[in-house]
Each structure stands twice: as structure tokens, then as C-alpha cells.
Amino acid sequence: MPFADLLVRLARWLERAGTVGPKNAVAKSFGAFGDGSALVFPPGALFGEQLIRVGAHTLVGPHVTMSAGLFGETLEPLAGWTLRFGDNCSIGRNSFFVSRLSIDVGDDVTMGPNIYVTDHNHRYDDVSIPIKQQWMTEAPVVIGAGSWLGAGAVILPGARLGRNTVVAAGSVVTAGDYADFAVLAGVPAKVVRQHTTEGWKRPDS
């Protein structure tokens, strides 16, 4: 058998054998890890798993980084978590979720690859010290149930997406409340379509 074929078979075996399910020790280190959920091998970086909750039947793709809190700090969130995924979600490969306050992903959310979601950001207002030494701003993030985030979307602190929201690939969603049944696109993202009693409409129509 050609060497390349052996490598492909090995890679497929590793993906199956290395995928984490609810009964694995890695899953049990999470605050919650629902039935039928999986972290596909190889996993991304994991930090603060005890503050991360994964619902039932949620698939987390390979190389997905999930972080709750910063290195060396102790968080005691009132809800008991800083990052939560609902049931029946699909998270694309190479995505990043960086939380220390609250990132709440609803049920039935689908995300493409290379998604970046964070609930905190660096400040830059004090020009006398380096940006990395300035304390952060933070605000909760909500991704409404039934939503779809296209490849490379970025969700920034304070963004609160409604139900069944579409975020176009490569868009950057900034702080604000976004209504249900909307399509967001652009940098920064704006509502380009909205479902009303008359059906789907453009804001300027």
C-alpha cells in the first residue's frame, strides 16, 4: 500500500479514536458536557473548562479553542459559567471563543470555520502605557438560537444577536442589540435584510 494511503488511513483513525465524547475524562472536566456531543480530534487549546458548558448533541470541530478566564485569574461568575453552547450546535474548525464574562450561544446554532467570538477587548485610551498593560473592556455576548455564522465572522463584546440571525462570512459584529430574523453583513456589520410581517425586506426598501 502506498505510504500516502497509510497516512490518510492513520489520520482518519486518529480522528475517530481521538474524538472526545461525554464519557471521556476531558469532557468530564467541563462544567457540563451533554449527551451526544463531541470534540473532534485534534482539539484546540482548552482553558478553564470548569466554566464552559456544552449542551447535548453539539459538535465542536477540530482545532477549536475555548478559553474561560485569563491565565492566573480566578473567576466566580454568578451563572457558574462564562462560555455556554446550547443543544444541537455545530462549531466550525479553527474557531476561537475567548470569554471571561459571558458568551451565551443558543440552541441550534451553526457556525462555519474560523469564527472568533470574545466578550472582552483591549483598551487603548491611555497613551502613556502599552495597550497590553491597560485593563480590558468587557460586555456579554449572546448568539440567538437558530442562528448561522458564516466563515470568518467576528463577534465582539456587547453583541447580542437575535434568533435565526445570519452573519455573512467575514463580517465583524460590534456591540449592540440585533433583532430576530436579520441578515448582518459588512465591517462593521449592518442589517442588510430583515424579516417583517411583509416578508424579507431591505432596510431601505
CA distance 151 to 170: 6
User: At residue 52, what are phi and psi to the nearest 5 degrees?
Assistant: -115, 135
Give the number of other CB atoms < 10 A from CB of residue 168. Answer: 18
Amino acid making up residue 56 = A
Whether 63 sits among the annotated catalytic residues: the reply is: no
Instruction: Give me 25's grid cell.
Output: 475524562
Parallel, antiparallel, or unpaired for β 96-99 and 116-118? parallel
Looking at 10-107, which runs of residues are DSSP E strands?
32-33, 38-39, 46-47, 52-54, 59-60, 65-68, 83-85, 90-91, 96-99, 103-105
Residue 51 in grid coordinates: 466554566
- Written as nine digits, the cell of 115 is 469564527
**Catalytic pick from 63, 120, 122, 195?**
122
Q: Which residues are catalytic?
A: 122
